[in-house]
A and B are shown apart, each in its own frame.
Chain A
Amino acid sequence: MDNLVELENVSFGYGTRPVLRGINLTARRGQVIAIMGNSGCGKTTLLRLIGGQIKPTGGVVRVAGQDVGGMDTEALYQLRRKMGMLFQFGALFTDMSVFNNIAFQLREHTRLPEDAIRDMVLMKLHAVGLRGAADLMPSELSGGMARRVALARAIALDPTLVMYDEPFAGLDPISLGVTGNLIRRLTDTLGLTSIVVTHDVQESLKIVDYVYFVSDGVIEAEGTPEDIRASGLPFVHQFVHGEPDGPVPFHYPASAYAQDLGLAG
C-alpha cells in the first residue's frame, strides 16, 4: 500500500472547544510531509492523533491501514514500535547518558545481547554525527545536539514512520541546516516516512515533498513546495513571507480601541 498515514475527515476538540475540523491528510511512503501553521492552530494535536495519544472525535486516522482511534493499548503499543517521534525539545531522559537514551528502546523491546546493542547505538549516533558524544549526559549537550540525539533515539528501532514536533525551534542557523538535512537524508536512506510539524517555512520548504497549511483547525492550503511558494492565497502568502498583518491579524480580538480609551462619542 502506498499511503502510510491517512486522515479522513478528522475532527478533534477538548470539551466543546473544537481544535481540528474536517482534516484530510495523506502521507505516502518515503515522503517528507510538512504540517505548517501558526502557533496554537492544532499542528501538534495532529501528531498526537496519528500517534494514538488522543482519539479523534470524528473521522478516521489510519496508519499502515489500521484504524488508530479504535485500537486498545496493546495494539497501540505494537503499532508504536514502528513509529519514532522527535519531541519539541528532544525529551531526552535526563537521568541517562546519550548512549543509554538511544539504547532504551532496544533494551525494553528486544532481547539483544549488550554487544549488539552497543554496535546499533553507535551506528545510530554515527548517522547523526554524535558518536563521540555517547558518554555525555543530556545536560551537557547544546540544543542542536540534543535534537540530533533525540533523532537518533527516534530511529533506534528502525521505524517506518517518524514524526517531528517543531524540530527547528530554537536552533542556531548551522544546527537548523544540519537538522533539516538529517531529516531528509535519513528518510531517503532508511526508507522512512516523515511528518514534520513546523512553522519554519524557509527551512522546511527546502527538504519536504508536500506541505499542508493548517489555520484555525482546518487545512487552508496544500501542495508541493513550488505550489506553496507560488500560491496566491492570502494566508499562505502572509505565512511564507512572514507579514505581520493579514488574514492572521496582528491584534487579538478586542473591543474598539477608541471605546477602550474612552474617546467614543
Chain B
Amino acid sequence: MTSLLQPLARLGRRTVEGVSRLGYAARFFLAILLRSGTAFGRFGLTIRELYFSGVLSLIIILVSGLFVGMVLGLQGYETLQTYGSEEVLGVLVALSLVRELGPVVAALLFASRAGSAITAEIGLMKATEQLAAMEMMAVDPIARVVAPRFWAGVISMPLLAGLFSAMGIFGGYLVGVVLIGVDEGSFWSQMQANVDFEEDILNGFIKSLVFGVAVTAIALFEGYDAPPTAEGVSGATTRTVVTSSLAILALDFVLTAFMFRGVS
C-alpha cells in the first residue's frame, strides 16, 4: 500500500513545491515593480544594463534576422511562383516577420544570449555574497541590481525584435529581388499596401514587449533564486533558457489568438 501511495505523495509534494515557487516568483515580480524607482530615478543604471542586454545582443539578432529573411525569400518564392504570384513575396516576408518570426525568434535568441547571462550574473553575485554584502550596506539589491536589469530587458526586447524584422525584410529583398529578380516595385509597393500599422506592426510590438517582460523576469528570478553553488547556477541558467523558450511560445499562441481573430 505504502509503495502504491509513494508516487502519489511525490506528485503531491512536487505540486505543492511548484505552486509555492510560483507564488514566490509572483512576489518577486511584484517587488521589482514596486522598487523600480531607482531604475528610473538613476536612469544611468538602466542605460548601462541596456548596453549589456541590448547592444551586446545586436550581432546575433542582426545576423539571424538576415538569414531568416533570406530563407523566407527563397521558400516564399518557391511556393508563390507555383501560383504565379511572386510579386507578393514582399508581403509574405514582411508579414511573417513582423507578426510572428520577428518577436518570437528575437525573443528566443534574447533568452539564450541575454537571459542566460543575466541569470548567471545574478546567481554568481549571490553565490559570492555580493548581494548579501549590498544588503549589509543598507542598499536594496532588488532596487539597485534587479530592477534596472528588468527594465533594460523590457526596453531592449521590442527594439531588437524591430531590428530583427527590418534585417529580415532586407534579407528577403536580397534574395527575392537582387538574386532571383522579382520586380522591385511590386515587392515594396505590395508590402506597403498590405502591412497594416495597427494590426501587424503594433501587435508585433506588443508581443515583443510581453516576451521582454517574461524572459527578463524569468532570467532574474532564476538567478536570484539559484542555490549559491556552481551546480545551482548552471542549473538555473539552463532553466532560464528552457522556461523562457516555452513561455515565449505559449504566450505567442495566446496573444496571436487574441490579436489576429478574423483578420484576413
> Would you call A108 and B132 a contact (CB within 8 A)?
no
Give A72 Cβ to nearest chain B Cβ, in Å.
13
Residues of B within 8 A of A105 (CB): 137, 139
B128 to A, closest residue via Cβ:
A91
Task: Indicate whether B129 reaches chain A with its CB closer than 8 angstroms.
Answer: yes
Interface size on B, residues (CB 8 A): 14
Interface size on A, residues (CB 8 A): 20
A92 and B130 CA atoms in complex are apart in Å by 6
Looking at the complex, which of A74-82, A205-213, A253-261 is the stretch in contact with chain B?
A74-82
Task: Indicate whether B138 reaches chain A with its CB closer than 8 angstroms.
Answer: yes
Give A163 Cβ to nearest chain B Cβ, in Å.
8
- The 0/1 profile, CB within 8 Å of A marked 1, for residues 106-149 of chain B is 00000000000000000011001110110111111000100000
A76 and B138 CA atoms in complex are apart in Å by 8
Which residues from 49 to 66 on chain B have a C-beta closer than 8 Å to any C-beta of chain A?
none
> Would you call B138 and A78 a contact (CB within 8 A)?
yes
Residues of B within 8 A of A51 (CB): 136
B135 to A, closest residue via Cβ:
A53
> Would you call B137 and A53 a contact (CB within 8 A)?
no
Task: Indicate whether A89 reaches chain B with its CB closer than 8 angstroms.
Answer: yes
> Would you call B137 and A91 a contact (CB within 8 A)?
no
A80 and B137 CA atoms in complex are apart in Å by 6
> Would you call A109 and B136 a contact (CB within 8 A)?
no
A163 to B, closest residue via Cβ:
B136
> Would you call B128 and A94 a contact (CB within 8 A)?
yes
A73 to B, closest residue via Cβ:
B140
Residues of A within 8 A of B140 (CB): 77
A88 and B228 CA atoms in complex are apart in Å by 14
Residues of B within 8 A of A109 (CB): 138
A88 and B135 CA atoms in complex are apart in Å by 15
Give B110 Cβ to nearest chain A Cβ, in Å.
21
Task: Indicate whether A87 reaches chain B with its CB closer than 8 angstroms.
Answer: yes
* A108 contact from B128, B136, B137, Cβ within 8 A: B137
> Would you call B128 and A85 a contact (CB within 8 A)?
no
Residues of B within 8 A of A91 (CB): 128-130, 132-133
Of the candidates B124, B125, B132, B137, the one having the most CB atoms from chain A within 10 angstroms of its own CB is B137
Residues of B within 8 A of A108 (CB): 137-139, 144
Of the candidates B128, B129, B138, the one having the most CB atoms from chain A within 10 angstroms of its own CB is B138
A91 and B135 CA atoms in complex are apart in Å by 12
Residues of A within 8 A of B128 (CB): 89, 91, 94
10 more CB-based (< 8 A) A-B contacts, given A78-B138, A87-B132, A94-B124: A76-B138, A80-B136, A81-B138, A85-B133, A91-B130, A92-B130, A93-B133, A94-B128, A104-B139, A108-B137
By Cβ-Cβ distance, the 7 closest A-B pairs, closest first, are A77-B138, A91-B129, A91-B133, A80-B138, A85-B136, A87-B129, A81-B138
